[in-house]
Amino acid sequence: MTPVSARLPVFPWDRLEPYKATAAAHPGGIVDLSVGTPVDPVPEVIGRALAGASDSPGYPTVWGTAALRRAILGWLERRTGAAGLGERNVLPVVGSKELVASLPAQLGLGPGDRVAYPEPAYPTYEVGARLAGAEPVPYRGKATELDPAGLRLLWLNSPANPTGRVLSAGELRDTVAWARQHGVLVFSDECYLELGWEAEPVSVLHPDVCGGDTTGLVAVHSLSKRSNLAGYRAAFCAGDAAVLGELLAVRKHAGMMVPAPVQAATAAALGDDTHVAEQRARYAARRAALRTALVGCGFRVEDSEASLYLWATRDEDCWDTVAWLSERGVLVAPGEFYGAAGQRFVRVAFTATDERVEAAVRRLA
């Protein structure tokens, strides 16, 4: 039997360790802008909801509580413009990465099936295809230029990780029409939807995109970044009720349940927009400071219209840039982690604390 690990790419972050050691040796300590993990406190309204549901001795439901489903639907209508959805159109999941990595297998895909995803891209799209034994198909440019033969699943990612690129409503609409024409299921990773800076991200569920019809469409959302809940593993899917019903059946058998206290916390987070606005303001200030510093020392920033990253280049191999920054105590992610299209870029996260961002700005000056 071929080991599962043999089907997977090398875990990329291990390759960054020598540069991390160099950055950590800087007299002022490391400024880690490589992994986009939240560092700010969990909002009080969410913590209170989690604590209030802590006495939860029974098994939670895979489909989620009625309160959680209502909160998801309310947020979808308020923030994405999706209307006319019911409780069968939503499904909580144990973090979006788990969903991305296991989705092709849960859908029953395997050898002979193809899974397409944009490049450069979050590496887990490829991992999910390989775990299922399907063929991963990275694409650059328009998804509508793909060969539809054998294509069963098409990933969209807007706002994109790592580039921060935002697809317009027109681009999304054309892609949805093409996918429906060829019978391809569309999953749209929209985890950064509320973090637009120079463009207003649009959900694939918006009526201007899908015409009010969710057939063949599922959007994936996460609370990790917008609510500082990466440690809670709180996420959900929304869209085609038939597709989500199939996933629900599989996930019941597999016991993929969001813990009851996390369900309560998620409902509270989705019902409160104030903490999201406050966190956006923090990120906006950090983004502006880092972008100015990078441009000031010779970098060019491309795309980066949304999300929590700056997609930057000095027109050299990404590892040379990583090394140059690490000598100044700043650690970033090489674009190569996200596919060959990122070979001359680095991804700079602005999720560090204000103090660490200020330290990076001083070093780059």
| Identity of the amino acid at 278 | E
Among residues 247, 272, 297, the one where a domain terminates is 272
Count of the separate structural domains present in the chain:
2
289 shares a domain with 214? no
Judgement on whether residues 358 and 224 belong to the same structural domain of the protein: no
| 140 and 208 part of one domain | yes
Q: What is the pTM of this model?
A: 0.94
If asked whether residues 88 and 25 sit together in one domain, one would say no
pLDDT at 264: 98
Is the distance from CB of 340 to CB of 26 less than 8 angstroms?
no
Is 101 in the same domain as 233? yes
Whether 162 and 262 map to the same domain: the answer is yes
**pLDDT, position 120:** 95
Which CATH number is 200's domain given? 3.40.640.10
Same domain, yes or no: 51 and 200: yes
Tell me: do 320 and 294 sit in the same domain. Answer: yes
- Please tell me whether residues 165 and 140 are part of one structural domain: yes
| pLDDT in the model for residue 256 | 95
Statement to judge: residues 129 and 219 lie in one domain: yes
Which pLDDT belongs to residue 10? 66
- Domain range spanning residue 160? 44-272
Question: What is the reported pLDDT for 8?
Answer: 67
Query: Which residues are CB-contacts of 332 (< 8 A; sequence separation ≥ 6)?
Result: 33, 34, 321, 322, 325, 346, 347, 348, 349
Contact 216, 186 (CB under 8 A): yes
Mean pLDDT by 10 residues, the chain (365 residues): 62 85 96 94 97 95 96 96 94 96 97 97 94 96 95 98 96 98 98 96 97 97 96 97 97 95 98 97 98 97 97 97 98 94 96 97 95
Return phi, psi of residue 239, to 5°. Answer: 145, -135
Residues 239 and 344 in one domain: no
Of 272, 304, 331, the last residue of a domain is: 272
CATH number for 331 = 3.90.1150.10
Q: Is 290 found in the same domain as 261?
A: no
d(CA 233, CA 224): 7
Reference 101, options 109, 90, 91, 112; nearest CA is 109
